[in-house]
């Protein structure tokens, strides 16, 4: 006599359960449960910042309502995150090209390395852009522990059946990537968890990145809180006596981590290698961007002219920028990706530190928007 | 051989089987739904996946 099949193990029960999982998955990953406004996405906590920014990038890709007819996507790290915020660039685009029907998304994440840009580019088809801009700094070709080649976005958003240019560290990691490829809820599980916790136990909302800054004092107050006045005084002292020593003294107020990172990057950076990992990752990124589904350009990010005073080479290496730029250009052009050299766009007064131009106040958004319009016009 | 004057009514085997398996279709659907919710909760709240990176760029 055959054994009665337990109802708990009956195939029909599990088949139905799978159908329910698919329905629940769609109910979460295509709704405001996952993508609705949260407080955590605006966190100022540095340990949660990259997670929050990766979440926002994913939302822009997967949950953006149809805006302008032509979409522009920007990939990069803090160097482009800060000065190319949506409000600044959209204002400028509306001013110089009011007739163009555009939708602009800054998908940059603090600390993103070239490996992160490559992983994020795997999602671009879902956004369906007309123009993709990869904002790359020459220093991004140096992968050190101070600026790793891949970071939080690669962990959270890795998808794809085949290994990327940076092989997975373990079999479990590869299986995890397959899971994220095939199953949206699994792909966004960390974001879903954070969103649900946020709704159940909301934390104070710090609000979005400011849409406008009136002055450097307002910027320093935003960045340094109670030490804003002190930073402003040191910054103005540097403006009166614009030496690199004064600039370093200003950075020591609230930006000591930045100084340590820049020094470490220069110290540990090693030599540029045309066959090195970073260039191979860059090549894979360019291969994907140059696929002709969209117009693509690489913006080689502005560099602080003050570095010319760095004769002891603590904060940069003489000749590195030109060698790195040549490598970026030689990697991008064969794939049909335009290269824009923005290294000399900004004066030293436009920089908050050695790497970053100021948001809004620097005026970076003006040449940037002009470059966007030029790229779109060359496409049509 | 005499036939039983009060034969026991024949059991509807389909109904009987269904009863043994958990009754009507409703418990089956409920069971599947519980499984689905449990799987979803497990995926979302399973330990791990806390990706923390302390940004030092500023």
Q: Which pLDDT tens digit goes with each residue over A344-375?
A: 999 999 999 999 999 999 999 999 999 999 99
Average of per-residue pLDDT across A25-41: 96
Residue of higher predicted confidence among A59 and B57: A59
What's the first-to-final CA gap in chain B, in angstroms? 101
A141-149: average pLDDT: 90
A195/A189 Cα distance (integer angstroms): 10
Q: Which residue of A has its CA nearest to B31?
A: A13
pLDDT at B54 over 70: no
Per residue in A69-95, pLDDT tens? 899 999 999 999 999 999 999 999 999
Chain B interface with A: residues with Cβ < 8 Å: 20-22, 28-29, 31-33, 35-37, 39-40, 43-46, 49-58
Is A20 in Cβ contact with B55 (below 8 Å)?
no
> Cβ distance A132 to A73 under 8 Å?
yes
What does pLDDT average to over chain A?
Answer: 94
**Residue A334 sits at the chain B interface (C-beta within 8 Å):** no
- Label residue A2 by pLDDT band (50, 70, 90): very low
Contact (CB, 8 A) for A136 and A300 = yes
Around Cβ A358, how many Cβ atoms within 10 Å? 19
Residue A7 confidence (pLDDT) above 80: no
Chain-centroid distance, C-alpha A243: 31
Rounded to an integer, the average pLDDT of A196-213 is: 94
Evaluate if residue B15 carries a pLDDT over 60: no
With CB atoms and an 8 Å threshold, state whether A13 touches B32: yes
User: What pLDDT sits at residue B22?
Assistant: 52
Look at residue A38 in the predicted model and tell me its pLDDT. 96
Does residue B19 surpass a pLDDT of 60? no
Contact A325, A300 (CB under 8 A): yes
Tokens at A27, concatenated: 């109910």
Picking from B37, B51, B58, the nearest residue to A155 by CB comes out as B51
Of all residues in chain A, the percent with pLDDT exceeding 70 is 97
- Residues of B within 8 A of A47 (CB-CB) are 52-54
Q: Which residues pair with A299 in a beta bridge?
A: A135, A340
pLDDT bucket at B9, cuts 50 / 70 / 90: low
Tell me, what's the ipTM? 0.84
- Report CB contact under 8 Å: B49, A193: yes
What number of CA atoms fall less than 13 Å from residue B33's CA on the CB side? 6
Integer Rg of chain A from CA? 23
Question: Region B50-57: what's the mean pLDDT?
Answer: 67
Does the pLDDT at position B13 exceed 90? no
Mutation for B interface: A3, A4, A5, A24, most B CBs within 10 A = A24
Please tell me the predicted confidence (pLDDT) of residue A1: 42
Helix (H, G, I), strand (E, B) or coil at A72: strand
pLDDT at residue number A292: 83
Average pLDDT over residues A109-116: 96
Quote the strand ranges of chain A, DSSP E: 70-75, 102-106, 131-136, 295-300, 338-341
pTM, entire model: 0.91
Residues sharing a CB contact under 8 Å with residue A353, sequence separation 6 or more, in sequence order = A251, A255, A258, A262, A304, B58
Cα nearest neighbour of B49 on chain A: A190
pLDDT tens digits, A290-315: 988 999 999 999 999 999 999 999 99
| Model confidence at A191: pLDDT above 50 | yes
Whether A189 sits inside 8 A of B44 (CB atoms) is: yes
Q: What mean pLDDT value characterizes chain B?
A: 72
The confidence score (pLDDT) of residue A271 equals 82
């Amino acid at each position: 006599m055959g054994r009665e099949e337990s109802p708990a193990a009956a195939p029909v029960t599990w088949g139905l359960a799978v159908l329910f999982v698919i329905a629940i998955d769609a109910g979460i990953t295509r709704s405001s449960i996952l993508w609705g406004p949260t407080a955590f996405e605006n966190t100022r906590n540095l340990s949660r910042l990259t997670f929050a920014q990766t979440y926002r990038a994913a939302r822009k890709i997967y949950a953006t309502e149809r805006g302008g007819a032509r979409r522009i996507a920007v990939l990069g790290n803090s160097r482009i995150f800060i000065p190319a915020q949506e409000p600044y660039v959209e204002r400028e685009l509306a001013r110089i090209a009011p007739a163009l029907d555009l939708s602009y998304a800054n998908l940059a994440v603090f600390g993103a390395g070239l490996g992160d840009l490559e992983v994020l580019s795997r999602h671009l088809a879902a956004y369906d852009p007309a123009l993709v801009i990869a904002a790359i700094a020459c220093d991004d070709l140096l992968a050190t522990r101070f600026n790793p080649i891949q970071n939080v976005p690669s962990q959270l958003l890795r998808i794809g059946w085949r290994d990327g240019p940076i092989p997975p560290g373990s079999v479990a990691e590869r299986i995890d990537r397959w899971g994220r490829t095939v199953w949206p809820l699994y792909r966004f599980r960390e974001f879903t968890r954070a969103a649900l916790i946020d709704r159940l136990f909301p934390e104070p909302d710090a609000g979005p990145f400011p849409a406008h800054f009136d002055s450097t004092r307002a910027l320093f107050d935003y960045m340094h809180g109670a030490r804003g006045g002190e930073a402003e005084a040191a910054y103005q002292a540097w403006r009166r006596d614009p030496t690199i020593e004064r600039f370093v003294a200003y950075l020591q107020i609230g930006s000591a981590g930045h100084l340590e990172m820049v020094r470490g990057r220069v110290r540990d950076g090693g030599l540029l290698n045309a066959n090195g990992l970073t260039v191979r990752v860059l090549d894979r990124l360019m291969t994907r961007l140059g696929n002709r589904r969209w117009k693509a350009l690489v913006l080689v990010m502005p560099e602080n002219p003050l570095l010319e005073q760095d004769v002891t080479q603590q904060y940069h290496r003489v000749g590195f920028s030109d060698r790195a730029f040549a490598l970026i250009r030689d990697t991008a052009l064969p794939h049909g990706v335009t290269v824009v050299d923005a290294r000399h766009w900004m004066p030293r007064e436009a920089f908050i530190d050695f790497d970053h131009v100021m948001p809004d106040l620097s005026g970076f958004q003006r040449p940037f928007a002009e470059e966007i319009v030029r790229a779109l016009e060359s496409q049509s | 051989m005499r036939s039983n004057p009060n034969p026991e009514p024949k059991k509807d085997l389909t109904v009987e089987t269904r009863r043994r398996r958990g009754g009507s279709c409703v418990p089956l659907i409920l069971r599947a739904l519980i499984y689905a919710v449990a799987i979803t909760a497990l995926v979302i709240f399973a330990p791990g996946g806390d990706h923390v990176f302390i940004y030092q760029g500023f």
